[in-house]
Amino acid sequence: MFTLQNISYLHPDRDLLFSNISFTVNKNTKSALVGNNGAGKSTLLKIMANVLEPSEGTLITEHVPYYVPQVFGQFNHLTIAEALNIDVKLKALHEILGGNVTESLYDALNDDWSVEERCLEALEYWKLSGIDLFQKMETLSGGQKTKVFLAGIHIHRPDFILLDEPSNHLDMEGRNLLYEFVKGTTSALLVVSHDRILLNLLDTIYELDKRGITSYGGNYDFFCEQKRMEKENLAQDLLNKEKALKKAKEKERETQERQQKADARGKKKQEKAGVARIMMNTLRNGAENSTARLKGVHEEKIGGLSEELRTLRSSLPGIDKMQFGFGAPSLHNGKMLFRASNVNYSYGHVCLWKEPVNFEIMSGDRVALLGSNGSGKTTLIRMLTGSLEPVEGLLSRVPTRTVYIDQDYSGIKSGITVYGQAQEANADSIAEHEVKTRLSQFLFTRNDWDKPCDALSGGERMRLLLCCLTITKNAPDVIILDEPTNNLDIQNIEILIKAVNQYKGTLLVVSHDASFLKEVNICKNILI
């Protein structure tokens, strides 16, 4: 149905993103494209959607795909109808129904008399029934923009759909609608996503990495099981190579010791036998050459094993190379940190919540703050951190060292380097080499230390922020994560989960990612 043959893409700066990508998406299949940040997933989708031209290669397709992008800023100046490419038909329909009957209007409508009806049905399905098709895209929230483009699927009825992180800005209700759509559609899908619930609704996983494309015939859980087996095989190969290298070094040492003893015995025999000096020199040179040849053989073998070992270690997933080591928070578990009694807030004269909010958060709790988009979660966070005060009720707060981490990891400063950011967190003045060791533990090598923070990806910003939290002796008493997985790939989500689960303090999470909430062991929900 849609075939890519030897597709390559060069960035405008001539850096090669990927090369010789070939695979086929068949009719009615539901597939995912996964890979680390920077592998080129979104770029490949744009090439398939004819938004970008490949540097090399061929696209073969029976149908023009319908594309739901990850970002929508480029559509802000358009109306919803223009963004969905239905404005001409809608205007033609209204003109004809108003009595203006011309051949050009009939051509524009192209016998699509149900277009407006489909629009209304689609908007209603995605809970956008109050939205005017001729209002500007810039008036919509991120979640609403996503739903508009998802509604376009019902309007255009495409045979092949490309979705780039479709659940990123959706609340739980929106995600559930998306899941139901994916289950029920007969269109072919290719989805880029880190939403593991969504990925498990798909039947084929394509992994994009530096080797190219690898296909796995199953859903995401099947893919993870295959990757786990690959990792176990890699770990066994590493163990075998380490044993072989150790044995080779021992063999080299034993051989050298035997050769040295043999040379010493030979020299004593020659001296006792009264061998002429010129002959002794010849024999000594021969022994040295023999020793050098043996040494060369062993060094070649050891060098080969060492290189194989380095290659295997470089293949390890990043999460397996990382070390976290958070300090202990200063507060003991069970201490009352926050108590909200009939709390409410208002913008103008209307209260934000129909029912006042009541809850308690104790030290050591792991809490999810749940609610639909626009329900006031950010407002409540600002009250917890002390930047807002409730207009009704009482909110008690114990002084805590609280770190707020948003989805853009904006705690990372612009204009400084990776090493400079780490030093800014070095309140306890630990030694320079220790700071650099911590950076290495979070996968920032010597080549990264002088990299400007502005150039970091979402995953790198997350890792650097976590690293900064480990540089101080005492971990924060409270960490607030606000949609932390939105801009992360799957590997970096796994890193974040592992780090969060080693943190012993109080955790408050705002997220619509049910898998993430489960894996960080949430024990209490606050629903607003």
Q: What digits encode the pLDDT tens for the residues 284-306? A: 666 555 555 656 665 666 666 66
Q: Of 226, 261, 283, which marks where a domain is finished?
A: 226
Q: At what angle do helices 172-184 and 142-156 cross, to 10 degrees?
A: 20
> Number of folded domains in the chain?
3
Tokens standing for 496? 């974040």
**Mean of all residue pLDDT scores within the chain:** 87
- Is 231 a domain residue? no
Alpha-carbon span 441 to 423, nearest angstrom: 15
What pLDDT shows up at residue 291?
58
Q: What digits encode the pLDDT tens for the residues 85-107? A: 999 999 999 999 999 889 999 99
Residues above pLDDT 90, as percent of the chain: 56
- Is 234 a domain residue? no
Alpha-carbon span 275 to 131, nearest angstrom: 107
Q: Is 222 exposed, middle or buried (0-12, 13-18, 19+ CB in 10 A)?
A: middle
- Is 458 a domain residue? yes
User: Of 181-195, 199-213, 256-270, where does mean pLDDT reach its minimum?
Assistant: 256-270
Given a cut of 60, is residue 77 above it in pLDDT?
A: yes
> What residues contact residue 89 under an 8 Å CB cut-off, 6+ apart?
108, 109, 110, 112, 115
Domain check: are 155 and 253 in the same one? no
Q: Of 226, 248, 279, which marks where a domain is finished?
A: 226
Q: What is the DSSP letter of 484?
A: T
Given a cut of 70, is residue 375 above it in pLDDT?
A: yes
Residue with tokens 């043959």: 5
Domain check: are 32 and 176 in the same one? yes
> What residues contact residue 18 under an 8 Å CB cut-off, 6+ apart?
7, 8, 9, 39, 40, 43, 44, 208, 212
What pLDDT shows up at residue 175?
95
Q: Cα Rg for the chain, rounded, in angstroms?
A: 31
Domain check: are 385 and 287 in the same one? no
Q: What is the dihedral of CA 161, 167, 169, 171, to 10 degrees?
A: 130
What pLDDT shows up at residue 267?
61
- Is 328 a domain residue? no
Given a cut of 80, is residue 246 above it in pLDDT?
A: no
Residues above pLDDT 70, as percent of the chain: 88
Domain check: are 204 and 262 in the same one? no
- Is 149 a domain residue? yes
- Is 148 a domain residue? yes
Given a cut of 80, is residue 251 above it in pLDDT?
A: no
What pLDDT shows up at residue 527?
92
What pLDDT shows up at residue 409?
86
Alpha-carbon span 27 to 5, nearest angstrom: 17
Alpha-carbon span 133 to 113, nearest angstrom: 17
Alpha-carbon span 33 to 267, nearest angstrom: 70
Given a cut of 90, is residue 379 above it in pLDDT?
A: yes
Domain check: are 108 and 157 in the same one? yes
Alpha-carbon span 374 to 117, nearest angstrom: 28
Beta-ladder partners of 164: 192
What pLDDT shows up at residue 242?
73
Domain check: are 221 and 251 in the same one? no
What pLDDT shows up at residue 258?
74
Q: What digits encode the pLDDT tens for the residues 142-200? A: 899 999 999 999 999 999 999 999 998 899 999 999 999 999 999 999 999 999 999 99
Tokens standing for 200? 């498990």
* pTM of the entire predicted model: 0.75
What pLDDT shows up at residue 359?
96
Domain check: are 419 and 441 in the same one? yes
Q: Output phi, psi for 5, to 5 deg.
A: -125, 115
Domain check: are 31 and 104 in the same one? yes
What pLDDT shows up at residue 475?
83
Q: Which residue has the higher pLDDT, 17 or 292?
A: 17
Given a cut of 60, is residue 433 above it in pLDDT?
A: yes
Alpha-carbon span 137 to 139, nearest angstrom: 5
Domain check: are 518 and 389 in the same one? yes
Q: What is the CATH number of the domain that holds 9?
A: 3.40.50.300
Alpha-carbon span 120 to 115, nearest angstrom: 9
Domain check: are 7 and 155 in the same one? yes
326, HSE (Cβ side, Cα atoms, 13 Å):
20
Given a cut of 90, is residue 470 above it in pLDDT?
A: no
Domain check: are 83 and 144 in the same one? yes
Give the domain extent around 374. 336-527
Q: Collapsing DSSP states into helix, strand and coil, what is residue 20? A: strand
Q: What digits encode the pLDDT tens for the residues 331-367? A: 778 899 999 999 999 988 889 999 999 999 999 999 9
What pLDDT shows up at residue 51?
93
Q: What is the DSSP letter of 138?
A: G
- Is 498 a domain residue? yes
Given a cut of 90, is residue 57 above it in pLDDT?
A: yes
Alpha-carbon span 365 to 298, nearest angstrom: 57
What pLDDT shows up at residue 305?
61
Report strand pairing: 204-209 vs 212-216.
antiparallel
Alpha helices by DSSP H, 196-276: 196-199, 220-272
Tokens standing for 312? 């295997």
Long-range pairs, 295-302, Cβ under 8 A, ≥24: 295/252, 295/256, 298/248, 298/251, 298/252, 298/255, 299/252, 301/248, 302/245, 302/248, 302/249, 302/252
- Is 147 a domain residue? yes
What pLDDT shows up at residue 414?
83
Long-range pairs, 174-177, Cβ under 8 A, ≥24: 174/126, 174/127, 174/143, 174/146, 174/147, 174/373, 175/512, 177/125, 177/126, 177/127
Domain check: are 35 and 78 in the same one? yes
Residue with tokens 């629009």: 119
